[in-house]
Amino acid sequence: MARSESDTWDLANSVGATATLVAAARAAATNRPHPVISDPFAEPLVRAVGIDLFTRVATGEFEGDDGALGIPRMTDMFAARARFYDEYFAQVADAGIRQVVIVAAGLDSRAYRLSWPAGTTVYEIDQPEVIEFKTTTLSKIGAKPTTERRTVGIDLREDWPAALQAAGFDVAQPTAWLAEGVLIGFLPPQAEVRLLDNVIALSAQGSRLAADHGSVIGSSEDSLEQAQKITDSLARHGFELDYAELIYPGEHTDVAAHLRDRGWDVIRYRLHDLLTAAGLPELETADETGPATNVGFATAVLWSLHRLLRFWFEKGTDLSGYSKADLKRVQDKLNNRPRPPSTSTHPHNASPP
Ligand SMILES: C[S@@+](CC[C@H](N)C(=O)[O-])C[C@H]1O[C@@H](n2cnc3c(N)ncnc32)[C@H](O)[C@@H]1O
């Protein structure tokens, strides 16, 4: 069924099922002999949802048939993505950030599986049923969050900033945001812009964001054909999900450009960079490169002006002789400086390079 303004779901249908599929890929990646990620909660969560096909993906029993559902490569892609964001969180922890918000958290178990510095609070936002299911299932198997975890069950098309603040979010503290697997077509473009503008408004200086963006289904005929192949393959294996119908058609927001235009220091990545960083094989066939062309990745930092200027002017320089406009020009120049292509996963250091 096509998307509508106030549609809802659980983890076994519509957009919710995509969270289960991604978790199944993380489980499959975890179960490999030389895993690049470790998500021990993914498999029990997927089993609890109860979609037989996805459980078989999670355990490694189902690897696809005719290549339409190329499970091994899908596993590589989601594993590389998960690893990239795990490393992002390690880096934000090193930078001293103790407030984390995971939007569209789905079956993300980072609040249970990562080692967070003392005093970190992780907020998770998703549809109420999704959040509730994860909390209950993990509690039933005796899993405990490794830090303070606060949940916000709300639709991201509604007033989530108010709900987040009601849960204790502190606008004065720098925040590390993550939007994994959501700004890729699951929200209408206007809702994406609103979400980013809300993130910006709630971000104290020093905040960071990591996200993937674009559209998991591009608008080309090849992309639509590919989506149809996935839908058909899912149906052949007993699961009805019209993949293309989950995605809002049209142009989606370039998250990297949106943040850069608003003064954030942004680095772009392609899926290829993430796979290479994880030591996984490159993309080869058209089925594999399709999603890679339509989706990009970005990490962004809102450096404080003070911190930026310290890297431009000699230590001890008296800045009182510069007008606000001069300083703003320097800030813009720094934020828009050309950078060499990325060679490591997260070249955003604790300070501007
Ligand atoms: C592909 S899943 C990604 C889940 C998780 N971030 C991960 O990577 O495992 C997309 C997630 O976005 C959530 N989502 C999409 N649209 C949403 C909305 N309007 N409000 C709340 N959550 C939404 C879904 O419930 C789902 O959990």
Closest ligand 1 atom to Cα of 191: 19
Give Cα 269 to chain centroid, integer Å.
Answer: 13
**C-alpha to C-alpha distance for 89 and 128, rounded to whole angstroms:** 25
Q: pTM to 2 decimals?
A: 0.91
CB 60 within 8 A of CB 48: no
Q: Which CATH number fits domain 73-302: 2.60.40.1760, 3.30.70.20, 3.40.50.150, 3.30.70.1560?
A: 3.40.50.150
Q: Using most ligand atoms within 8 A of CB, pick from 14, 134, 160, 186 the residue to mutate for ligand 1.
A: 186
Instruction: Tell me if 181 CB under 6 Å of ligand 1.
Output: yes
Q: How far is the CA of 232 from the centre of ligand 1 (A)?
A: 23
Quick check: helix, strand or coil at residue 261?
helix
Q: Which of these, 265, 258, 269, lies nearest to 311 by C-alpha position?
A: 265
- Provide the residue ranges of all domains of the chain, joining segments of one domain with +: 73-302
Angle, helices 14-30 vs 52-59, to 10°: value is: 20
**pLDDT score, position 86:** 98
pLDDT for 245 = 87
Work out the end-to-end distance of the chain between its first and last CA atoms, rounded to an integer number of angstroms: 48
Centre of ligand 1 from the C-alpha of residue 13, in Å = 12
Ligand 1 centre to CA of 186 (Å) is 8
Q: How far is the CA of 174 from the centre of ligand 1 (A)?
A: 23
Nearest to 82 by CA among 22, 133, 33, 131: 22
pLDDT in tens, 27-77: 999 999 999 999 999 999 999 999 999 999 999 998 876 656 678 888 999
Query: What is the DSSP code (8-state) at residue 37?
Result: -
Residue nearest to atom 19 of ligand 1 (CA): 156
pLDDT in tens, 234-271: 888 889 888 888 899 888 999 999 999 998 999 999 99
Token duo for residue 27: 């489980």
pLDDT digits (tens, 9 = 90+) for 334-352: 766 665 454 456 767 656 6
107 lines ligand 1 (CB under 6 A): yes
Evaluate: CB of 106 within 6 angstroms of ligand 1: yes
Say how many C-beta atoms besides its own lie within 10 A of residue 260's C-beta.
18
Q: Strand, coil or helix: what is 313?
A: coil
43 lines ligand 1 (CB under 6 A): no
- Whether the CB-CB separation of 218 and 252 falls below 8 Å is answered with no
Of 107-111, 176-180, 347-351, the range with the lowest mean pLDDT is 347-351
Distance from residue 114's CA to the centre of ligand 1 (Å): 20
Which residue, 18, 23, 69, is CA-closest to 235?
69
Q: Is there an atom of ligand 1 within 6 Å of 152 CB?
A: no
- Each residue of 323-334: pLDDT tens digit? 878 877 877 777
Cross-strand pairs, 191: none
Rounded (to 5) percent helix, strand, coil in the chain: 45, 10, 45
The Cα 20–Cα 47 span in angstroms is 9
